[in-house]
A and B are shown apart, each in its own frame.
Chain A
């Protein structure tokens, strides 16, 4: 019962805080919002809710973080609104998905790019894996390569949409195999996985966390990352180990950002406290329970990662 009391208490605080004008207290003196560019219940939304659930603790922000969903067009709607219309006072944060938003800013006319956004910290990293159905004749990446050599363009590979992590991984794998495959974009990771399980496509690129859950009906042939995943799939080799030139460029990183122009002291406060919040024990426990790999990175590390991705994606997507 006491939990409900605190919940109502939080709501009351929230209501009171909204009614007050922004007083000159120390940041943050009222609840902070976090915009998620995907719908409620999706992986990004569900992880964002877990990693922010202890924000109101005194050692972190001392204020709750409220999730606001603005889904549409693969994240473009939410991020466009964020980069053009949100306040630069540190009370409006957003969740980012790399490589999605960087790839979109290169391929489409978007109002956002790595220049007008400031990273705060990274909470998760979900690498892409190459999967085939349990009944598939392919047992190794070598089998896939040999078949593709004999039947160019005949291997159908499902993934979630164009210019998202799965597609980037697919492009890298196709290049590394040196053979033509066929990419079949789906409306999201779940339908793409369904196509592999249902035998509509011959292979798929999907999230490690989702593949891990369906591991009994799949064969997971390789991970598109620079290291193995010791926590969930210690036995699955990376594609690089198998001799294919695929790095961690397609790994789906999730974290928090603000708009450029937010006061430096606010950014500093967030950059110091938010990564600590992501490392909280309860957060780590819930993330693990949900099968979501946690990878906490500081502001400086994320900055370097964004710059590296931007450079890589510009080269990869130039020819498309």
Chain B
């Protein structure tokens, strides 16, 4: 129990630190488990994994710096709420919806693993390519008023993702400087794009007016937060379902679960215009999704020994070190350890909720720190976070350069969210296209490989539906608001 509590609290703190993603946190903890019994070691890893995913939301909400790519969508509405002094409410809702999504995901892991494992493995390069394209279709509408600006930012993101050695052929692309040799790491990009423009703006504001606007932090009762979250059934259901499905697909990972479900929740919500201005439904959708993905992302690992996400790959190392080989026999040969691990994920969710709600009220006071002091604090965290990802000075340089660029772009109404989505989706779309092309050449050709089969057609249908929906709603908005507000 002490291990579980320690893992959860540590995980929340690690998760809240920009740059320390769940993958990093679990990797850092593995050496500590060398000296523990397998059961204790895995309980620690399980609790830490659960808590870091949720912890990433703390900095996303309070500082608008997503702790990991999974928390990008949380930052959009969560931070808007915190700026209004509703940080406590946002955090409480965030932890409650994380809990709902997380528990649901783990129940899927417990009861449906054998059924889903085979299905999850069926996703090949052509399907992954269409999933990435589906992600691209939401770029335009994400967190920006103008579709054109969203798409432009997305295109810049796709270009940034290309920098470095291409992962399949090993060809050098756009390496103008030694610092770009390893490419742009997603975490470095994330911190730079979100944190640096804010820091500059805070310092800028500090120079102009020395009178700080004091934001009143409104306390918020936990009971009311529960009631509110439960009333957002639609968002929670969308979030959990999207999280479970995306989590199961190996290679997609939780990075896009939050964003996809945020986008879906907005489309189905009557308050869709309020998204991005502090709509709690957005927080519910994003956080329930990225926690719901935790359990299912372990399905291929535990049953077939195939890690479906980077974090699962690191967990595999942690299991192996204790002589536990995941696979069909895991629940036969090491049933006690396997169940201890799964239970620790479940108990971790409960502890995460308890500790999370406890710190929510206190943490919300972060917004009262005077901007110049907060800015320097965030700067230290950003540099630390970017460096710690791969202990590389180059990542810090890249992070600062991207941040500076984003500051100027934000002056012209561009938003970092579609840009980051481009960085995430670029490599998924590209490498799967290249692999698909090679496989198609050996098989029946490109058209047969990419455009036939039920799953391909279903995914293409979703892509088309997404584009049609965007166009239709864009036209409707233009008709409703003739020549006002829309043109930004």
Chain A interface residues toward B at CB < 8 A:
3, 7, 39-43, 45-46, 49-50, 53, 68-74, 76-77, 80, 107-108, 153-156, 161-163, 182-187, 190-191, 193-195, 197-201, 210, 213-214, 216-217, 286, 289-292
B181 touches A291 (CB 8 A): no
Contacts of B110 in A (CB 8 A): none
Q: A3-B35, A40-B27 are in contact. Are A291 and B320 (CB under 8 A)?
A: yes
The residue in chain A whose Cβ has the minimal distance to the Cβ of B124 is: A200
Q: Which of B57-65, B136-144, B197-205, B431-439 contacts A (4 or more CB under 8 A)?
A: B431-439
Q: How distant is A9 from chain B, measured CB to nearest CB, in Å?
A: 14
Contact in complex: A217, B328 (CB < 8 Å): yes
* Closest A residue, CB atoms, query B23: A41
For A201, the closest partner residue in chain B by CB is B439
Task: Tell me, in angstroms, the Cα distance from A43 to B31 when the chains sit together.
Answer: 14
Given contacts A73-B164, A73-B182, A76-B181, contact A194 B306 (CB under 8 A): yes
- Assess whether B472 is interfacial by the CB under 8 Å rule: no
Segment from B165-173, B261-269, B273-281, B414-422 that makes contact with A: B165-173
B 136-175 contacts with A by CB, 8 A: 164-165, 167-170
> Do A50 and B321 touch (CB < 8 A)?
yes
Q: Is B123 an interface residue (CB 8 A)?
A: yes
CA gap between A214 and B301 in the complex, in Å: 11
When the two chains form the complex, which single residue of B35, B170, B442 contacts A153, counting CB atoms closer than 8 Å? B442
Given A72-B164, A286-B321, verify A46-B306 contact (CB < 8 Å). Answer: no
From A3, A161, A184, A214, give the contact of B170 (CB < 8 A): A161
Question: With the chains together, A249 CA to B348 CA distance in Å?
Answer: 47
Q: How far is the CA of A65 from the CA of B328 in the complex (A)?
A: 36
B461 at the interface (CB under 8 A from A): no
Chain A proximity mask over B282-323: 1 for CB below 8 Å, otherwise 0: 000000000000000000100011111000011111101111
Q: A41-B314, A46-B30 are in contact. Are A73 and B183 (CB under 8 A)?
A: yes
A45-B124 Cα distance, complex, nearest whole Å: 28
CB distance from A154 to the nearest CB of B (A): 5
Given that A41-B317, A69-B391, A182-B438 are known contacts, is A291 also in contact with B250, CB under 8 Å in the complex? no
B306 touches which of A80, A193, A216 (Cβ 8 Å):
A193
Kindly state the separation between the CA atoms of A71 and B27 in the bound complex, as whole angstroms.
14
User: Which A residue sits closest to B300, measured CB to CB?
Assistant: A194
Are A190 and B306 within 8 A (Cβ)?
yes
A156 contacts B169, C-beta separation under 8 Å: no
Residues on B lying within 8 angstroms of A by beta carbon are: 23-24, 26-28, 30-32, 34-35, 121-125, 164-165, 167-170, 181-183, 250-251, 300, 304-308, 313-318, 320-323, 325-329, 390-392, 431, 435, 438-439, 441-443
B438 (CB) vs chain A CBs: closest residue:
A184
Q: Judging by beta carbons under 8 Å apart, are B181 and A214 in contact?
A: no
* B308, chain A: closest CB distance, angstroms: 8
Given contacts A42-B313, A153-B441, A156-B439, list 20 more A-B pairs with CB under 8 A. A41-B26, A41-B27, A46-B320, A49-B31, A70-B391, A71-B182, A71-B390, A74-B165, A154-B442, A161-B168, A162-B170, A182-B439, A185-B168, A185-B435, A187-B431, A191-B251, A198-B122, A213-B326, A289-B322, A291-B320
Q: Verify B168–A156 contact, CB threshold 8 A.
A: no
Contact (Cβ within 8 A) A184 B435: yes
Once A41-B317, A161-B170 are accepted as A-B contacts, the answer to whether A214 and B306 lie under 8 Å apart by CB is yes
Q: Are B391 and A68 in contact (CB under 8 A)?
A: yes
Q: How far is the CA of A46 from the CA of B165 in the complex (A)?
A: 24
Residue in contact with B320 in the complex, picked from A193, A216, A217, A290, CB distance below 8 Å: A290
Question: Contacts A46-B321, A161-B170, A213-B327; is A182 near B441 (CB within 8 Å)?
Answer: yes
Contacts of B304 in A (CB 8 A): 197, 214, 217
CB contacts (< 8 Å) of B318 on chain A: these are: 41
